Structure 1
Amino acid sequence: MRFTSIASGSSGNSSYIGTDHTHVLVDVGVTMKAVNQGLHALDLELSDVQAIFLTHEHIDHIRAVGTISRKYQIPIYGTLGTLREVMLNRTLGDFATDLLQPILPDAVTTVGDLSVIPFSIDHDAADPVGYRIEAGEKRVAVATDMGHYDDYIVSHLENLDAMVVEANHDVRMLSTGPYPMSLKRRILSDHGHLSNESSGHLIDRILNPHVKHVFLGHLSKENNLPELALKTVQQEIDGSDSDYRAGDFDISVAQRDRISDIIEL
């Protein structure tokens, strides 16, 4: 099993998960060219991808879905709320409705030898989800765009081998930055984004002896810094009462505009 982030940040997001036989993407919020460049680093083409899973309908997660679906006829999976909003977004252009595959949170979808389990998250979108993806005994997850987390979300992120977890903003940078107050309140709300501190708390709860790599994802360009996100998350883990320390695991910031490390599981 291979896992990586093709791009991650407030400007665009896409992750790859695959085996020798099956290749899927979670979100395509960057250009088709950027997705292709990431796949080429994996010795793959978009024609090798069997499915695209959407977390929600915001443009930084669906930017290339229309272009890719029209050219490659790849099935697009998402909740009914997400797919409805995608269809209403005329900037994406027309694409065949028979490519749209509705899914339900907590219901397993099988693509090749991958089992994909969506789980509900709280974000200001129609019906957003994160994803847990399993192949045999290997498990990874993409969990971003969450205003908060709870025991339900934690239960879907347990016993992972690798993950992308949101570390969107530094609270002080956001509070003193140029965003209008309404946007600041949205980001800080339970339907906004996880801060660096909250990301550290969540990661600390789901660390386990199997973890090989943690990507910090969806960093804000205006309200965060990669080194600050990494340092804050590490401090939250090291300051907790758990048995784990940040140095016990590989933790890195997912690259904003290029593919990150390719994790082999």
Structure 2
Amino acid sequence: MRVTSLGSGSSGNALLVEAGPRGRTRILVDAGLSSRILIERLQQAGTHPKQLQGVLVTHEHIDHVIGLPVLMKRYGIPAISAPATLAALQHSFASGIWPVDTGALVTTAAIAPLLTKLDSSENEEVSLPGVDPNIALPEVSPESGMLLHGEGKPVVPTIAMQLGSRRLIGDIEVVSFPVSHDAVAPSGYLITAGGCRICIAIDSGEVTPTMLEAMHHADLLILESNHDRERLIRGPYPYALKQRILGPTGHLSNDQAADAVLQTWRADSVRWLWLSHLSRTNNTPKIALQSMIRRLEKAGANLAQIHVSVSPPGMGHVWDSAQLWHEPSLWEMQH
């Protein structure tokens, strides 16, 4: 199994997972980059969008799905997620209104200039414009197994995956599990192929026993380490947004991420850990790394068996279970 980070953070999230002979099974986990950037990075990773069997969607916030409509409409790639998440995506297709990670909503018209900015600033964290967070989404007549665009016509088949269920996608086995985030049905994923496992647990305000159980099995753990708590509290965000981030359905802090790793660390195996979804305002790669390593050292962990790095906002890590090699981040730790 080969995993490539195509982007991580508030400016967009996407992972490419390949498995089987010659990587014949290929899926994305999230498609939160503009379609142009997403397709370019897929090509850098040696993948054409037509080779994708599906997109596992963690939740409906735009920094995880902004590139999804083009993948679905142009290439016929199905979205795979919890039924409630697929319904939320259907609402967004029909209404042109998309939820943002800040709790606001953004219109399709507002997304267009944002995409231009994203395309021209690969490693810049971009603020999404918002509209009235109380705006009502229209009721849409559901059509089982299909997403709809604005005219109510089918776009492409979807694959519903109940939280806690198991599904085989080619050479890849996927188990979903619930995480704690302010979305309709936020999901984490435990992905298995060739005897190796990766666990993806991002966008969660707390770590639950179900999450810990999935994380315990991972050879590669992709875990949110969003913010330094003190930096967030002292920072420029409005009080309400700070409370949302710090709340049980917000985002994991560096300390919460470290607590989770210490509860699932196994002394009998080598593991890889990617700290992901870092805030540019309330965290830095250096702070996140130092926080995690300091906690691991204090607990007596053998750092020769835990390879820790930070997922950058741009094209980043590659992990290959066949060769068990790790390519360092392209984002130099200068912050």
Query: Could you say which TM-score interval applies, normalised by the shorter chain?
Result: over 0.9
37-46 or 134-143: which moved more? 37-46
Number of corresponding residues: 262
CA deviations on 1:148-181 (whole Å, 9 max, x unpaired) are: 0122111111221112100000001100111110
5+ long unaligned stretches in structure 2:
97-107, 112-147, 322-335
CA deviations on 1:57-100 (whole Å, 9 max, x unpaired) are: 00000001111111110011111111111111123982735422
Q: Distance in 1 between matches of 2:264 and 2:50?
A: 34
Which residue is equivalent to 1:71? 74
Q: Distance in 1 between matches of 2:40 and 2:271?
A: 25
2:202 to 144, 159, 167: 144
Which structure has the larger Rg over C-alpha atoms?
A: 2
TM-score with structure 2 setting the length: 0.75
Over 3 Å counting, the alpha-carbon distance change for 1:28 and 1:239 in structure 2 is same
2:286 to 216, 224, 227: 227
How far residue 206 of structure 1 moved from its aligned partner, in angstroms, is 2.2
Over 3 Å counting, the alpha-carbon distance change for 1:211 and 1:119 in structure 2 is farther
88-97 or 132-141: which moved more? 88-97
Per the alignment, in what secondary structure is the counterpart of residue 52 of structure 1? strand
Asked if 2 retains the 8 angstrom alpha-carbon contact of 1:201 and 1:237, the reply is: no
Q: Is residue 35 of structure 2 the alignment partner of residue 32 of structure 1? A: yes
Over 3 Å counting, the alpha-carbon distance change for 1:247 and 1:201 in structure 2 is farther
Q: Is residue 50 of structure 2 the alignment partner of residue 47 of structure 1? A: yes
Asked if 1 retains the 8 angstrom alpha-carbon contact of 2:73 and 2:156, the reply is: no
Asked if 2 retains the 8 angstrom alpha-carbon contact of 1:77 and 1:102, the reply is: yes
Per the alignment, in what secondary structure is the counterpart of residue 157 of structure 1? helix
5+ long unaligned stretches in structure 1:
none
Which residue is equivalent to 1:108? 166
Q: Which has the higher contact order (CA 8 A, sep 6+)?
A: 1
Q: Distance in 2 between matches of 1:99 and 1:224?
A: 39
31-40 or 10-19: which moved more? 31-40
The amino acid across from 1:55 in the alignment is T
CA RMSD of aligned residues (A): 1.6
Asked if 1 retains the 8 angstrom alpha-carbon contact of 2:72 and 2:155, the reply is: no
How far residue 140 of structure 1 moved from its aligned partner, in angstroms, is 0.5
